[in-house]
Amino acid sequence: MMNTPQQVKNPSSSLKSRFITRFLGALTKITAEDPISSSSPTRIFQRYRRIKVASNKSMAYSVRSRRIWSRAMLSRFRSRRSAFSGRRSSVKTTNCTTSPPPALIKVTINEKKTAKGGLDMQTDELRELVPGGEAMDVCNLLDETAHYIKCLTTQVQVMRKIVDFYHLSK
């Protein structure tokens, strides 16, 4: 665990290194709490979700609040956590993590498809993909998308390296 291959550009402050440290911490916590050998399928599934959430969360935390999407993601996590605990929390929808009901989306998409070119439909789709995308105009949306893609690729790279490493060590 200590010899995880870390390829960081700057030793201390790059996004990659921050993400790596956070994510590995979360991963160790999860594997400690949830021993693998004794997992039932449902536990496996839960564990998968936890890891996925941990990965996304680590990335969002590494980005802090510098980006709209990371802020949206973090507020989503917080609201979800409070919802789990049973309280009716007032979900902050300033960053609009909840999209309008699907029926409404479909209607607007069809309308726009017939009205204008297909660009509106695609921008809407992009809005759904990028967290916090509903509240952004197209220009910012593209910007956020670029940063989001960058972070996602970092995430995937790191996770892949971890997988490879563990595979090798076996």
Partner 1 sequence: MSSSLTSLYLVNPNPKAKRKKETRPFIFNLLHHQSKKITLIMQPCSREMQAMNSLLNPTQQIPLQDLQINGNSHHHQQIHVPSSSQFQYPTPTSTTHHDDSFLEQILSSTTSFPWSDETGPPNPEDNNNAGFNYDEMVLASKLRQHQINGGAAGNPFSAMKMMLMMQQQQQQQQMMLAGRPTVASSAAGGGITTNHQGGEGSMQALYNVFGDGSLHGTMQAKSFVGANSATEMTQSQGSRPTAGEAVTAPEKPKQRVRARRGQATDPHSIAERLRRVRIAERMKALQELVPNANKTDKASMLDEIIDYVKFLQLQVKVLSMSRLGGAAAVAPLVSEGGGDCIQTSANGGSHPRNSNGDQTPSANDRLTMTEHQVAKLMEEDMGSAMQYLQGKGLCLMPISLATAISTATSRSRNPMINHENPTNGSHLLIQSSGGDGPSSPSMSVLTVQSATMGNGGLEGGAASVSKP
Q: How far from 49 is each of 45, 55, 160, CA to CA, in Å?
A: 6, 10, 17
Query: Based on CB atoms, which residue is closest to partner 1, 53 or 91?
Result: 53
Note whether 25 binds partner 1 by CB under 8 A. Answer: no
**How far does Cα 112 stand from its chain's mean position?**
29
Type of residue found at 44: I
Phi then psi for 59, rounded to 5 degrees?
A: -65, -45
* Given 10, 42, 85, 90, the residue binding partner 1 (CB under 8 A): 42
State the nearest-atom distance from the C-beta of 154 to partner 1, in Å.
6
Residue 131: both structure tokens together: 């967290």
Residues 56-115 that bind partner 1 (CB under 8 A): 56, 68
Residue 85: both structure tokens together: 């605990």
* Region binding partner 1 by CB under 8 A among candidate stretches 81-89, 96-104, 105-113, 150-158: 150-158
Other Cβ atoms less than 10 A from the Cβ of 132: the count is 25
Binding residues vs partner 1 (CB under 8 A): 1, 27-28, 31-32, 35-37, 39-42, 44-45, 47-48, 51-52, 54-56, 68, 117-119, 122-123, 125-126, 129-130, 136-140, 142-143, 145-150, 152-157, 159-170
